[in-house]
Every structure is written in structure tokens, then in C-alpha cells.
Amino acid sequence: MISFPNAKINLGLNIIRKREDGYHDLETLFYPIMIKDVLEIVQNNTDCSISKINSSELNLEFSCTGLLINIDTSNNLCAKAYDFLKKDFPSLPSVKMHLHKNIPMGAGLGGGSADGAFTLKLLNKKFHLGLSKEQLINYALQLGSDCPFFILNEPCFATSRGEVMENISIDLSAYQFIIVNPDIHISTAWAFKNIIPSIPKKSIKEIIQQPISAWKNELINDFEIAVIKEYPVISEIKEQLYNAGAVYVSMSGSGSSIFAIINKDNKFKNNFPENYFVFTI
């Protein structure tokens, strides 16, 4: 069985406070973007490959093509998703899992989170586990704060760690998206250490209801200041995209990807270096 985990962007991202459990309360608007990985799961009847995850022995064979990733199953969200379900469903059979990676890593596009969440959904469907959407969201939150969004995979306003979600009606059909990743990997842990949480003057939920022309001055990503200080090229990319006619440009997540919202009749020309990942959607 095959599925196609897709990326996301954040329309605004405010880090409000650090919680006692070490996580952060935030608010953001998650928006799915159709840059996709490919995930295939088949039953492994040979039962021959044993991977150790959190000291439990699992019959899991994992392989990957495309962009180079660390396939150590102890840190792989696809493998962890299998682990969580295997513990609660001991009869879950051995599987072979193959991931073809297209979404850049450490890029603020949620590629790893999508892969983990889609693994939960695919295992649930393939092996008829009968998990509800709410149950899948609970498993996804154990994988990471961005993962619950990919269970819904629709535009939504998110709060708390990102798992409290409200569907939002937003029409961006008149625009195209340009995604630019300068081949810089940014650690989410590093990004959180370098920001100061604060309560925003105006909620993203309120800002997003305004005309898109007003977003430039109000819809912000709290991670940008620290990331741009460390990587000034992020600011240069933003300026270049605005000069190309974008109506709104922002960094997604903790970076380093920048997205631009541009009118569909704008004939965007890619003048970025060859080592950059540039997607037009």
C-alpha cells in the first residue's frame, strides 16, 4: 500500500510561552503544500529483519531513496510510528517500509512529521486497526508537535503544542506558491533556544481574516529574527521574492525554507543558485 506524505507551511507562527513540561505553547495556521514524499508499506512474510527501538524488538525492515536521510530506525519517525502501534496491537505483523524522500529535511516544511503521521494512517488502513481520527492524533502527538496536523491535513488554526486544531476556511486559489530552501539544515531545538516567547498583540486567527495585502506588516514568524541573525541569506531570499512581485513572503516553521505567495499570472523566473531547492506550486 502506498501513500504520499505532503509538506506544510506555517502562515504565521507565534511562540507564546514555555510550558512546565518543556514544550512551548504556540499559535499558527498550518497549510498543506503539495510537495510529496512517497511511502510504501507491505507485509513482510519473511520476518527476517529485526530493528531495536526503545529496547523493544520489532520485525521492521526500512529502506529509503531520494534525498539522503539517517535511516537509523531509533530516530526515524516512520519506525517510531510502527513501534507505538505495535505496543498496543501486538498482532501487528512484520512490515517492509520504503520511503522515497523529496521534501528537504530541517527545512520547516514538516517532511519528517508528515512521514510519521502518514505511517500511522497507512498502518491503520492496511491492517484494519479501527483507530479513530482522535486516536491517530494522540499517537501522532507522541511523535512530535507538528505530526497531529498531518492526520487532518487541511488548513487549520493550531494552538497548545500544535495539536489543538480548528479548521479554517481560507481561499488562496488565485495564487501560486514559491518555496525556496537554501540547502541549510536548522535544528528545531536550536531555534527554540534562541527565541523569547511572548503573547502577540493580535492573534494569527484574526490577522488571517484580513486581505492578504495586509499580512506583510502583521503576520510574522517568531523564529525569523534568530534564524536571520545566524543565516542572513534568509533575509536576502525574502527580499528577492518580494522584488519578484510576491504579495507575502515568510519563513516556514523554524526554517530554513521561505515561501512566497504570488499571483498566478506572475511569470516567476528562478534565479536562485543551483544547490537551492525551489518548488513552484
Place of cell 494522540: 138
Distance of alpha carbon 140 from alpha carbon 120, whole angstroms: 8
Polymer length of the chain: 281
Catalytic residue among 8, 80, 96, 121: 8
Yes or no: say if 85 and 92 are a contact pair by the CB < 8 Å rule: yes
How many helices (H) and strands (E) would you count in the chain?
9, 13
Q: Specify the amino acid at residue 20.
A: E
Distance of alpha carbon 128 from alpha carbon 217, whole angstroms: 48
Short-list 37, 153, 34, 150, CA closest to 99: 37
Which 3 state secondary structure label does DSSP give 167?
strand
Residue 146 annotated in active site: yes
Catalytic residue among 115, 146, 222, 238: 146
Distance of alpha carbon 33 from alpha carbon 219, whole angstroms: 19
Yes or no: say if 168 and 29 are a contact pair by the CB < 8 Å rule: yes
* Maximum separation of any 2 CA atoms in the chain, in Å: 58
Residue 83 annotated in active site: no
Which 3 state secondary structure label does DSSP give 97?
strand
Catalytic residue numbers?
A: 8, 146
